[in-house]
Chain A
Amino acid sequence: MANALEATERKQNDKSTARDIYLPPERKKVSGGGAPHVSAKNFSIYYGEFEAVKKVNADILSKYVTAIIGPSGCGKSTFLRAINRMNDLIPNCHTTGALMFDGDDVYGKFTDEVLLRKKIGMVFQKPNPFPKSIFDNIAYGPRLHGIKDRKTLDALVEKSLRKAALWDEVSDRLDKNALGLSGGQQQRLCVARTLAVEPEILLLDEPTSALDPKATAKIEDLIQELRGSYTIMIVTHNMQQASRVSDYTMFFYEGVLIEHAPTAQLFTRPKDQMTEDYITGRFS
């Protein structure tokens, strides 16, 4: 009996320390943000017969950072990739319900997915610069969308690289192959490349999972810089990261959105038992 009691106590202690780790920093309100930017209504995603994301209802608020957490295979990446229709690449993938972006249906009959993706940029798990020069990597998107003038391109490249906090490191070797950069630099290049098409939303799919701690810190700083200018959604495995960078957090479990709340609240006073078990490390 005594032993059992002790064990429960220890567990509770563990819980509180675990929560302390995730205690999010204070955050300022963002001016001009907070309107629902992306909203899902009964939104489900299927791979063939399998329902990978189940009837999600959520509003993603503009100019804030929303983190998506959950164990692997819970559908968090699937959900993220559905927002700019990257899932179109997967055969047999279809959706039901509605996913609205600025009041327009993302999966509508008259939606041009190319224009959509221009508005919703994405950065992937592994840095994936093209095997071209740094300049050509950044200019790839603008060129696609019809900007040919060299001066405009130059300005745009510089602006994007500055926004991604990479300009100082690469300004003298813009014509060098982007694959020569370090992993962290490559990932920031990918962010800059996405910013160059001037999107409204940035989707980050585990952007730091392939990076070392130093590079991770730089990406997290970058996210803080961009907060307030873009609506940012970040899928992450790392709960500390979620608590450090995000204003809101969504917790997915087996395709179901279990909890969606301000980050501080979700990590300190989770409403759902499942959320609590997850953030305290009962399962992963």
Chain B
Amino acid sequence: MQNSSGMHENEAAKSGRSSVFVVSARKRKLQKISQKSGEGTLLLIASFVAIVVLFIFWFVARDAVPYFRLRGFQEFFTSSEWYPADEPPRFGALAIIYGSIMVTLGSALIAVPMGVIASICLSDILPFTVRQYVKPVIEMLAAIPSVAYGFFALVVFAPLLQNVGGPILMWTWWVIAAPVLLLAVIVASELLTAPIEKEPKKKVLHLVSALFLGSLALLFLYFVGRHLQGLVIMSGTNALNVSIILSFMALPTIVSVSEDALQAVGRELREGSYALGATRAETIIKTVLPAASSGILAAVILGIMRALGETMVVWMASGNSSHIPDPFFNYLESIRTLTATIAGDMGEADQVTGSARFHVLFAMGLLLLVVSFVSNFISERIVVRQRKVLSGQ
């Protein structure tokens, strides 16, 4: 090859014929150089994002390190006494970290099952025409600014929760738990009587066990419902409020990403399961979900990160009180999160650059940054792995 081209140049020169497409060495070199430099410029611009990520880590860490140098790690992670303005100040962030975990978990508890089921519904159950109307709803949920959600949580939802929170909780409990328990009773009574062979005896026992389990379930429903109705909610700006609102903000992410994962599972798998006589629910739960599980996991991580990183809603509607609720799972108490603390305390700390009070907020930012980086990394790995598995590598 190289030989022939070298030979060529000579040949062209010898014959004096100007070739159509073979250009001089110098021109070709110039072409190559301009091409490479153009590509290099593009690469430089494209790597701007990577540079920004590095800078974010560097500059947040640069202002976070002085805090740990001044105060060490122990207080920040183990104490829940947050009195940055006292003399001497105390920077125990445990309760704040716990608050972040609490609302994140709370919103995940609502958003993950709902989001996954909704995405299944979108990809496998609803016909295309209906899907076209559902998509804009999800897009709108995602588009509404967080401060608008925060305003809603503070001005509309919090008073509602404070005044009629008990009845709301009771009705929610009934609406959700009653059908679930009913199904559970039907399935359980059938499973209990499955080993019995004789026909009349089986029917009677089936009925008896259904009635017995049913009345147990009803009692359970009633007593939990009554307890919920009797709850006194001291403040509407609490962890429950924030968790509910955050869950609706995390939903669009979860739905759209896990829908992609479900779509990536091919038709063949589904048809194979249907052909074996499985119902749609069985096909989805036993065949499609396992195949898409890693993609859905990635979706869940992304959705949870959205809730953890959200600032405005928690700042406006969490109550901002830095303490660990008593008991620790009491979602009806006010809490405070990392994001809200950063947003809220910077105003007071801003002026005195260099103080521990300023740097502790960067330490919190660094904590958030590291958590988001790690979970992003994990979800990305998961997605890559799923793609590999699905493409059979």
Contacts and interface: CB of A to CB of B under 8 A. Distances in A.
Nearest to B6: A109
B133 interface: no
A104 B1 contact: no
Contacts of B31: 112
Contacts of A119: 20-21
B4 to A, nearest CB: 5
A116 B21 contact: yes
Contact of A110 (B1, B5, B20): B5
Interface string B299-341: 0000000000000000000000000000000000000000000
Contact of B5 (A102, A103, A108, A113): A108
Chain B interface SS verdict (over half): helix
Contacts of A109: 2, 5-6, 25, 28
Contacts of A118: 21
A128 interface: no
Interface in A35-86: none
B22 A110 contact: yes
B24 A110 contact: yes
B29 to A, nearest CB: 9
Contact of B4 (A102, A105, A112, A113): A105
B20 A104 contact: yes
Nearest to B25: A110
Contacts of B126: none
B257 to A, nearest CB: 29
A281 B379 CA distance: 52
Interface string B22-38: 11110110010000000
A115 interface: yes
B5 A112 contact: no
B21 A112 contact: yes
Interface in A89-112: 95-98, 101-105, 107-112
Contacts of A108: 4-5, 8, 22
B282 interface: no
B4 A104 contact: no
Nearest to A110: B28
A269 B2 CA distance: 40
Contacts of A111: 5, 21-23, 28
A188 to B, nearest CB: 26
- Taking residues whose C-beta sits less than 8 angstroms from the other chain, chain B's interface range is 10 to 19
A104 B10 CA distance: 11
A43 to B, nearest CB: 11
Contacts of B391: none
Nearest to B31: A112
A118 B23 CA distance: 14
Nearest to B2: A109
A115 B6 CA distance: 19
A104 B12 contact: yes
Interface in B185-230: none
Contacts of A110: 5, 8-9, 22-25, 27-28
A105 B11 CA distance: 11
B19 interface: yes
Contacts of B19: 102, 104
Contacts of A96: 1
Interface in B232-289: none
B164 to A, nearest CB: 58
A111 B5 CA distance: 9
B22 to A, nearest CB: 5
Nearest to A95: B1
A103 B4 CA distance: 11
Quick one: which of A97, A108, A109, A112 has the most chain B CB within 10 A? A108
Quick one: which of B1, B6, B25, B28 has the most chain A CB within 10 A? B1
A109 B2 CA distance: 7
A95 B20 CA distance: 21
A95 B5 CA distance: 14
Contacts of A98: 1, 4
Given A98-B1, A110-B25, A110-B28, A115 B8 contact: no
A97 B31 CA distance: 25
A85 to B, nearest CB: 10
Quick one: which of B6, B9, B20, B21 has the most chain A CB within 10 A? B21
A102 B23 CA distance: 14
Contacts of B6: 109
A105 B22 contact: yes
Contacts of B8: 104-105, 108, 110
A111 to B, nearest CB: 6
A97 B3 CA distance: 11
Given A98-B1, A105-B22, A108-B4, 13 more contacts: A101-B21, A103-B11, A104-B8, A104-B19, A105-B8, A108-B22, A110-B9, A110-B27, A110-B28, A112-B23, A115-B21, A116-B20, A118-B21
Interface of B: 1-2, 4-6, 8-9, 11-12, 19-25, 27-28, 31
Interface of A: 95-98, 101-105, 107-113, 115-116, 118-119
8 contacts: A96-B1, A104-B8, A110-B22, A110-B23, A110-B24, A112-B31, A113-B21, A119-B20
The 7 closest A-B pairs by CB, nearest first: A108-B5, A115-B21, A109-B5, A116-B21, A110-B28, A104-B22, A112-B23
